[in-house]
C-alpha cells in the first residue's frame, strides 16, 4: 500500500498530528497517537513545508530577513510535531512496525532535506540577505540566525555544481539508511544475548539486588527458578563487578565487547566501512579533505589538530595512572591461589576488590542511600538552591509509557518554564544508555515564550523484590548529567528554536550537563538527599568521607577507555581514501598507535559505537566530553572559590551568560562572559588525579 493510500485508510481527521494538540500544556497526545498515524503525518508535514518553501521562493518582494530567513525558520511546524514524537519513541519505545516505518522514512527525509538545502532559488534569496548583512539592523540573535542559515546551506551543498549536488543527494540518502541499520543491528544484538544460570553456586559474589533482578528476569522469560543476565547495564555491570565466576564474567564480557561483530546478519563491520567511505565522499564534495575537517569546521575545536593536541595533553598522565592500576590488580591476583594474567574481562572485578580494600566502601553499601525518588528530589533541591526553580508532578498529562513520569518546572517568580518527562528503566524496545531530548523546543511565537517539553531517558536499576529502585553511584552521576542537559533546554530564552537550548556546538553542549555532576557527591548536598530507603537516616559522615576518598580511584581506567574511544572516532574520520576499509584492522592500528594496554578496551568498540555510527550526533566529536570537561571543571571552580557551592550569584551568572542563550552567540564568547577569561585545564587534571 502506498503512503498516500495509508493516509486515506488511517483517516486524516483522526490523526492527532494534523492539528494543534488539545492537551494540557499542548503536550503530544500519546494516548491518541497510533502507529498508523506516523507515515501519513510525515508525508503531509513534508508536503506542507515544501509548499512553505515554495512560497518563500515565489515571493515577488526583494529578499529580506523577515520574508526569507525568518520565514524559513518558521516553516515545517507540522513536520516538526511528528518528527519529535516518532524519533524519540523509536529510541525509547520501539517495535518492529516502528522500525519498518523508520527504514521507509530515512531516504524520504534525506531527500526532503536535500530538496531544501539544494534549492537554488531559495539559496539565491538567502545569499542576497547574507550579502547585505552589514547594512541590516538586526539583533545579535537575528545575525546569528542569518549566519547559521547561510552556513547550513553552504555546508549542505548549495554552492555545488548540478552534478555534484546529485551525487551528494545519493550519498546522503544512503547514509541515512546505513545509520539507521547500524542502530537496529546493535539493539538486536544487545537484546539477543541471554546468560541463563541454573546453578546457584555460579551466583557467588553477586549482591542480593542483582540476584533478585536476574531471578525476576528469568521468570518473565519462562525460566522460573533460574537467573537471567543480559547486556543491559543494570544487569551487565554488577555481574562484571561482583561475580566470582571468572569464566562467566569472561563470557558476558566477550558477548558485550563483540556486539554486531559476529559475522551474522546483524554484523556492523560492512555497515561501518560503507559509512566511513561515504562520509569521505561527502567531505570531498563539500571541499574538505576529511570528514573530521568538515565536522570540526563548525565546532569550537575547528580542526583535527586541535582535537588531537587536547587528547595528547591528557593521554600520557592517564595512561600512566591506568598502568599503575593494572599493576595493582595483577599483584592482587598473584596473592591468590590461581595464577593468571589480568584480562579486560577481569578489570571491574578486581578494581572493586581494591576499592573495598583501600577505601572500605563499595556500591552496594551506598545504594540504599540512593533511592531513585530521593536522588530526583536531591536534584530538584539543588536546582531550587541555585536558581529558585521548583518542580511539581504533572499528573494530568498523557504519558507514552506507564513507567514515565512528568514534572512542571516553575521559575522563582512563578513563571512556567517547561515540562520534563522522565523514563528511567530498561526494556527491550529502548536502546541502551541515557539521553536528554525534546518533544518541543523553546522559542517565541507572537511575542510569547513557547515553553520546552523535555524528556530524560535512562536505563537505571529497576525496583525489585519489594525494594524501590536503588541507584549505583554511576547511575546517580548519570542522572545529574542528563538533568544538566535538561536545564540547558529548560532555561532557554531564545527567539528561534534552531538557536535555543542545546542547539550549540557539540563540543560545548556537554559542559552544561557535566557541570551538574560536580554537585552529586558534595557532602552539603548528600546531607539533603542521600537518605536510607528503609530508615530515612541521612548518609553517615563516615560514608561521605569514604566516597570522597575513593572518588579518584579508577580515574586512570575511566580516562583511558574514554580517550581511546575518542581517538578511534577521530582516526576513522581523518581518512582521505574513499575505498572500503578493513574495520577491525583500523581499530587495532588505532589502539596500537596510542599504546592502549590489552587490559582495557576503548569504551566503545567500532561495531557498537552508537554515538558516531547510528546518527549524526557525535561523529568526529566524541572528544567533546573531555573538551567540555575542561570548561565544566573550570566553571565549577568558580563556585568552589566562593566557599559556597550553592552560590546564587555564580549560578545566576551561569544562567544568564550561558544557559539562557543557547546558540545565539559563539560558545567561547558566552563562556568568557561568564568566567571573565579563558578556561584553564588545571581543574580538570586535579579532579581526575592526573596532575
Tell me the Cα Rg of the chain.
Answer: 25
Report angle CA 121, 123, 126 to the nearest 5 degrees: 120
Distance of CA 564 to the CA centre of its chain: 18
Give me the count of residues in the chain: 691
**Has 482 been annotated as catalytic?**
yes
CA distance 409 to 418: 5
CA distance 317 to 321: 6
In the three-class reduction of DSSP (H, G, I as helix; E, B as strand; rest coil), residue 658 is classed as helix
For 503, left (φ over 0), alpha (ψ -120 to 50), or beta? beta
Helices marked H in 551-646 — which ranges?
555-573, 583-593, 610-613, 624-642
CA distance 562 to 551: 17
CA distance 612 to 622: 8
* Sign for the pseudo-dihedral over CA of 379, 382, 386, 389: positive
Torsion angle in degrees (nearest 10) through CA of 170, 175, 180, 186: 140
In the three-class reduction of DSSP (H, G, I as helix; E, B as strand; rest coil), residue 528 is classed as helix
Strands (E) in 204-301, as ranges, are 227-229
Helices marked H in 32-95 — which ranges?
38-58, 71-74, 77-92
457 forms beta bridges with 423, 435
CA distance 422 to 372: 12
* Sign for the pseudo-dihedral over CA of 526, 532, 538, 540: negative
User: Rounded to whole angstroms, what are the CA distances from 415 to 412, 442, 446?
Assistant: 7, 14, 18
User: Rounded to whole angstroms, what are the CA distances from 498 to 69, 399, 412?
Assistant: 12, 26, 26
Instruction: List all residues 6 or more positions away from 210 whose beta carbon is below 8 Å from its beta carbon.
Output: 235, 238, 239, 242
In the three-class reduction of DSSP (H, G, I as helix; E, B as strand; rest coil), residue 564 is classed as helix
Q: Answer yes or no: are the C-beta atoms of 236 and 229 closer than 8 Å.
A: yes
Helices marked H in 457-554 — which ranges?
473-490, 506-509, 511-517, 523-529, 541-550
Helices marked H in 221-265 — which ranges?
233-242, 246-257
CA distance 398 to 405: 10
18 forms beta bridges with none
CA distance 580 to 577: 8
Q: Of the residues 52, 70, 352, 482, which is catalytic?
A: 482
CA distance 419 to 410: 9
**Residues annotated as part of the active site:** 482
Amino acid at each position: 500500500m502506498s503512503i498516500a493510500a495509508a493516509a486515506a485508510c488511517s483517516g486524516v481527521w483522526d490523526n492527532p498530528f494534523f492539528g494543534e494538540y488539545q492537551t494540557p500544556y499542548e503536550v503530544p497526545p500519546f494516548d491518541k497517537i497510533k502507529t498508523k498515524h506516523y507515515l501519513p503525518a510525515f508525508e503531509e508535514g513534508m508536503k506542507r513545508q515544501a509548499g512553505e518553501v515554495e512560497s518563500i521562493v515565489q515571493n515577488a518582494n526583494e529578499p529580506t530577513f523577515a520574508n526569507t530567513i525568518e520565514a524559513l525558520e518558521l516553516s515545517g511546524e507540522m513536520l516538526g510535531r511528528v518528527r519529535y514524537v516518532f524519533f524519540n519513541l523509536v529510541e525509547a519505545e520501539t517495535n518492529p512496525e516502528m522500525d519498518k516505518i523508520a527504514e521507509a522514512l530515512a531516504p524520504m527525509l534525506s531527500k526532503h532535506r536535500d530538496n531544501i538545502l539544494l534549492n537554488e532559488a531559495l539559496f539565491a534569496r538567502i545569499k542576497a540577505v547574507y550579502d547585505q548583512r552589514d547594512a541590516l539592523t538586526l539583533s545579535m540573535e537575528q545575525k546569528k540566525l542569518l549566519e547559521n542559515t547561510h552556513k547550513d546551506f553552504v555546508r549542505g551543498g548549495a554552492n555545488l555544481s548540478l552534478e555534484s549536488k546529485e551525487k551528494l543527494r545519493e550519498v546522503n540518502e544512503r547514509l541515512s539508511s546505513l545509520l539507521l541499520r547500524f542502530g537496529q543491528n546493535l539493539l538486536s544484538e544487545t537484546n539477543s544475548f541471554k546468560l541463563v544460570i541454573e546453578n546457584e553456586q555460579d551466583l557467588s559474589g553477586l549482591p542480593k539486588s542483582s540476584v533478585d533482578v536476574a531471578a525476576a528476569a528469568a521468570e518473565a522469560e519462562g525460566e522460573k527458578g533460574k537467573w537471567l543476565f543480559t547486556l543491559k547495564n543494570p544487569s551487565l555491570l554488577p555481574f562484571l563487578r561482583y561475580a566470582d565466576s571468572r569464566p562467566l564474567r569472561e563470557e558476558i564480557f566477550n558477548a558485550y565487547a563483540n556486539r554486531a561483530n559476529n559475522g551474522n546478519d546483524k554484523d556492523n563491520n560492512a555497515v561501518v566501512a560503507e559509512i566511513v567511505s561515504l562520509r569521505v565522499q561527502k567531505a570531498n564534495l563539500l571541499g574538505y579533505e576529511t570528514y573530521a575537517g568538515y565536522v570540526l569546521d563548525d565546532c569550537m575545536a575547528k580542526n583535527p589538530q586541535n582535537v588531537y593536541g587536547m587528547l595528547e595533553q591528557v593521554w600520557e598522565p592517564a595512561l600512566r595512572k591506568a598502568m599503575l592500576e593494572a599493576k595493582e590488580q595483577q599483584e592482587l591476583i598473584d596473592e591468590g591461589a590461581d595464577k593468571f594474567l589480568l584480562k579486560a574481562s577481569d578489570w571491574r572485578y578486581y578494581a572493586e576488590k581494591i576499592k573495598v580494600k583501600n577505601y572500605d566502601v563499595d556500591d552496594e553499601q551506598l545504594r540504599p542511600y540512593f533511592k531513585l525518588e530521593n536522588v530526583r528530589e536531591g536534584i530538584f533541591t539543588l536546582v531550587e538552591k541555585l536558581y529558585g526553580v521548583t518542580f511539581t508532578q504533572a499528573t494530568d498529562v498523557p504519558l507514552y509509557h506507564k513507567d514515565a513520569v512528568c514534572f512542571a518546572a516553575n521559575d522563582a517568580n512563578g513563571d512556567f518554564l517547561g515540562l520534563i518527562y522522565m523514563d528511567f528503566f530498561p526494556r527491550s524496545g529502548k536502546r541502551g544508555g541515557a539521553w536528554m531530548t525534546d518533544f518541543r523546543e523553546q522559542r517565541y511565537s507572537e511575542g510569547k515564550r513557547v515553553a520546552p517539553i523535555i524528556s530524560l531517558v535512562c536505563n537505571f536499576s529497576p525496583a525489585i523484590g519489594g525494594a524501590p529502585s536503588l541507584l549505583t553511584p554511576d547511575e546517580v552521576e548519570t542522572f545529574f548529567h542528563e538533568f544538566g542537559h535538561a536545564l540547558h533546554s529548560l532555561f532557554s530564552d531564545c527567539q528561534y528554536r534552531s538557536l535555543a537550548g542545546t542547539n550549540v556546538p557539540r563540543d560545548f553542549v556537554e559542559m552544561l550537563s557535566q557541570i551538574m555532576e560536580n554537585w552529586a557527591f558534595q557532602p552539603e548536598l548528600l546531607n539533603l538527599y542521600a537518605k536510607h530507603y528503609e530508615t530515612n537516616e541521612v548518609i553517615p559522615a563516615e560514608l561521605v568521607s569514604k566516597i570522597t576518598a575513593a572518588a579518584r580511584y579508577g580515574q586512570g581506567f575511566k580516562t583511558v577507555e574514554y580517550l581511546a574511544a575518542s581517538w578511534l572516532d577521530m582516526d576513522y574520520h581523518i581518512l582521505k581514501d574513499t575505498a572500503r576499509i578493513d574495520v577491525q584492522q583500523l581499530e587495532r592500528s588505532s589502539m596500537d598507535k596510542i599504546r592502549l594496554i590489552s587490559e582495557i578496551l576503548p569504551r566503545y568498540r567500532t561495531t557498537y559505537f552508537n554515538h558516531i555510527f547510528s546518527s549524526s550526533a557525535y561523529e568526529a566529536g566524541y572528544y567533546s566530553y573531555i573538551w567540555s570537561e575542561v570548561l565544566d571543571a573550570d566553571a565549577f571552580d568558580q563556585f568552589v572559590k566562593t566557599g559556597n557551592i550553592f552560590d546564587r550569584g555564580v549560578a545566576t551568572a551561569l544562567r544568564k551568560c550561558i544557559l539562557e542563550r543557547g546558540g545565539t552567540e559563539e560558545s567561547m564568547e558566552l563562556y568568557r562572559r561568564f568566567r571573565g577569561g579563558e578556561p584553564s585545564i588545571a581543574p580538570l587534571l586535579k579532579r581526575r588525579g592526573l596532575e
